[in-house]
Amino acid sequence: MDPVDEPTLVRRVQSGDEAAFGALVERYLDSGFVAAMAVLGNSHDAEDAVQNAFIRALERIDQLQPGSPFGPWFYRVLRSTALNLRRREVLRSHEEIPASASMGSNPAKELDRGMTRDMILDALAELPEMQRMAVTLYDLEGYSHREIAGILGTAVGTSRAHVHHGRKALRNRLGEQSFPANEEEWKDEARR
């Protein structure tokens, strides 16, 4: 889906178009789930957060300024929903079931994927929430620091610092091979 179509989709959703809402869900389902995983740390709560965020977004879609992109606004709603979910202490205390349990085409590979995912979630859990969200949105959507700052409600410089420190911490934890520095970070390092 071309992002330039989002304002049109939003207008159609505002008039109750089911297909347009389905297109927005299709576009942001995976990335929303990953962002919620980064904040909440397990897939069951991430599912709840994503579902609630889409419904809250639908309820409030009239608040979205005409012509504005849906994505950054949706991530603001999603982050707020996830933080509320965590704040109310309704997080389940069950053990995370690896995604491999429901797949099974290549159990060894899926088990390895599950372990890697647990490692990543553990590494993310050690970061402050703002850094987690900033790094995830930066790598997930390729948002600019200005867009990330808008989502997090911080200054642009703060967003830049969150991404820098977050990526550096993840690289230290996961290793250079699984978390390579990007071009901008190399430039930042060179400047220091």
51 binds other proteins (CB under 8 A): yes
**Closest separation in Å from C-beta 128 to other proteins:** 18
* Residue carrying the six token digits 């053990």: 95
Distance CA 159, CA 25 (A): 26
Structure tokens at 169: 């911490």
129, 140, 114, 127: which is closest to 39 by C-alpha?
Answer: 129
b/e map 90-108, b = 16+ CB within 10 Å: eeeeeebebebeeeeeeee
**Closest separation in Å from C-beta 16 to other proteins:** 3
Stretch that binds other proteins, among 77-85, 86-94, 132-140 (CB under 8 A): 132-140
AA letter at 183: E
Nearer to other proteins (CB atom), residue 33 or residue 80: 33
129 binds other proteins (CB under 8 A): no
Task: Give the binding site for other proteins (CB under 8 A).
Answer: 13-18, 21-22, 25-26, 29-31, 33-34, 37-38, 43, 47, 50-51, 54-55, 58-59, 99, 102-103, 113, 116-117, 120-121, 136, 138-145, 147, 170, 174, 178-179, 184
